[in-house]
Amino acid sequence: MANVAETLGEVVERDRILPPASLHLPDHLTPAAVVYPATEAELSAIMACAWENSWRVIPCGSGSKLSWGGVGSGVDLIVSTARLDQVIDHAVGDMTLTAQAGAKLADLAPRLAQHNQFLAVDPAYPEQATLGGIVATADTGSLRQRYGGLRDLLIGISFVRFDGAIAKAGGRVVKNVAGYDLMKLLTGSYGSLGIISQLTFRLYPGQDASKTVVVTGAVGEMEALLSALRLSPLTPAALDILSPALANRLGYEGFALIARFQSIAPGVDEQVESLLAMVGPALSAQVLQGAEDEQVWAEVGAALFPMFEEQNEAIVAKVGLPPAKAVTWLDQLPSGSLARIHGGSGIGTVRLAAATADMVKELRRGCTINQGYFTLLEAPLSLKKSVDVWGYSGNALGVMKAIKAQFDPHNCLSPGRFVGGL
């Protein structure tokens, strides 16, 4: 601590530097210090200092997802952007938001809502999550159905490079093809290419009305309904399929399909009626509105990503499947698995109370034989050390390595945390 903190003290004010205990760190991370720059210039100075001293650096926002990803090869310094939390520009008429990476989604939401706008992401730990952390982990949820992933929402980025220089790409307009799309390169890169300092998103208008339909029943009927729904002209804002154990947490029996419709009131009613008309006699349906409509989605998120871990043996994984394979895959999960798959994209989350390496391999195989993927987010350290955390099965690792070598030539940014040990 002394050495790193002392050296850093020559670059930034002392009050920016705190001991590791200032964050709730996973056991495998034992940095000498955590530093909280308050300006982009300070962040730049810190990174230049880290580079000169060959420190291994892991960036974070609030630190709620530091345990995600690979275990890595140690760390000297954690750089938190939590104090870089300013809104630079909410261009109301243009429906864009430019803010620093440490701004919290939960703090921004009311501000945007004043203008009937919102940032269309629903990540894990929504109270803690910062914009930078959300982008670095590409973490959003059910809203992917209508609004896409982070890659579809992010239109501009600034980040501090390994050498402390500040680079940017994209801009503040919703349509822009000038230059390489570094927004997409940095999205989901887990701090392995640079430290995100500022982001610009496209915003969406708030919706007049909202209702959720919950349909429950057995696997066969559910699969048929989902298939019919995909082929229908309905446009749910969110559409998830839940495993029986997760449905049970919400008070339902069997598999559950939850579809949220948001639009002007007549539009919502029209869509709800259309969906109800598709529900056969073997399934049961319920329409939620008002607080219930809001609550059911929050409960799904909280069940998959509880704020306080009940047991630390649990594993949480991000999965991807062709949408038509989702229900079958859910049906093959060990009973008690909490799982949610987004109906349109086939991306989802699964949470098991405990798992062995063999179980992980088997679950992963179920995804990869369908051209999908299975990536561990949370897992006990011993498990992460005994299996491949990321499960990348493609043939472009060489390209990823070449990019990493350019953006982080000394392998000091989140070393070993990313795909293939990058």
Partner 1 sequence: MTVAERSRIDWVPIIDAFSVALGSDRVVRRKEEILVYECDGLTSYRQRPAVVVLPKTTEQVAAVVKICDRFQVPFVARGAGTGLSGGALPIADSVLIVTATMNQILSVDLDNQRVVVQPGVINNWVTQAVSGAGFYYAPDPSSQSVCSVGGNVAENSGGVHCLKYGVTTNHVLGLKVVLPTGDIVTLGGEVAETPGYDLCGLFVGSEGTLGIATEITLRILKAPQSIQVLLADFTSVEAAGAAVSAITSAGIIPAGMEMMDNFSLNAVEDVVATNCYPRDAAAILLIEIDGLPAEVTATGDRIADLCRQNGARTITIATEAEERLRLWKGRKAAFAAMGKLSPDYYVQDGVIPRTQLPYVLKEIEALGDKHGYRVANVFHAGDGNLHPLILYDNAIPGQLEQVEDLGGDILKLCVRVGGSISGEHGIGADKRCYMPDMFSPTDLETMGWVRQALDPDLLANPTKLLPSPRTCGEAAHSIAAVTLPNVEHF
* Window 196 to 215, contacts with partner 1 (CB under 8 A): 204-207
Residues 106-145 vs partner 1: string with x where CB under 8 A?
----------xx--------------------x-------
> The tokens of 56 are what?
């291994």
Tokens of 402: 């070449």
Residue 276: how many CB atoms within 10 A of its CB?
13
Question: How many CA atoms lie within 13 Å of 267's alpha carbon, on the beta-carbon side?
Answer: 14
- Indicate the residue among 286 and 370 with the shorter CB distance to partner 1: 370
CA distances (Å), origin 400, targets 79, 126, 131, 371:
24, 30, 24, 20
Q: Can you tell me which of 109, 113, 276, 397 binds partner 1, judged by CB under 8 A?
A: 397
Binding mask 8-27 for partner 1 (x = CB under 8 A): --------------------
Q: How far is the CB of 168 from partner 1 (least distance, A)?
A: 5
Choosing from 373, 383, 413, 415, the residue that interacts with partner 1 (CB under 8 A) is 373
Alpha-carbon torsion, ordered 215, 219, 224, 225, to 10 deg = 10
234 binds partner 1 (CB under 8 A): yes
Query: Taking the complex as a whole, how short is the minimal distance between the CB of residue 260 and partner 1, in angstroms?
Result: 15
Nearer to partner 1, 63 or 236 (CB): 236
Place of tokens 């390209």: 399
CB 196 → partner 1: shortest distance, Å?
13
Residue 406 touching partner 1 (CB under 8 A): yes
Closer of 8 and 272 to partner 1 (Cβ): 272
Q: Which residue stretch of 29-37, 106-114, 248-256, 344-352 sits at the interface with partner 1 (rule: CB under 8 A)? A: 344-352
Q: For residue 277, state whether it binds partner 1 (rule: CB under 8 A).
A: no
Which parts of 148-187 interact with partner 1 (CB under 8 A)?
Answer: 148-149, 151-152, 161, 165-169, 171-182, 184-185, 187
Q: Which residues contact 35 (CB under 8 A, 6 or more apart)?
A: 8, 12, 16, 17, 18, 46, 77, 78, 79, 80
- CA distances 18 to 78, 119, 137, 182, 412, Å, are 10, 31, 24, 31, 21
Between helix 265-278 and helix 219-230 the angle, nearest 10°, is 130
At residue 57, what is the residue type?
V
Q: Is 287 in the site for partner 1 (CB under 8 A)?
A: no
Is 311 one of the binding residues for partner 1 (CB under 8 A)?
Answer: no
Instruction: Report the nearest approach of partner 1 to the CB of residue 351 (Å).
Output: 18
Closest CA to 419 of 255, 190, 232: 190
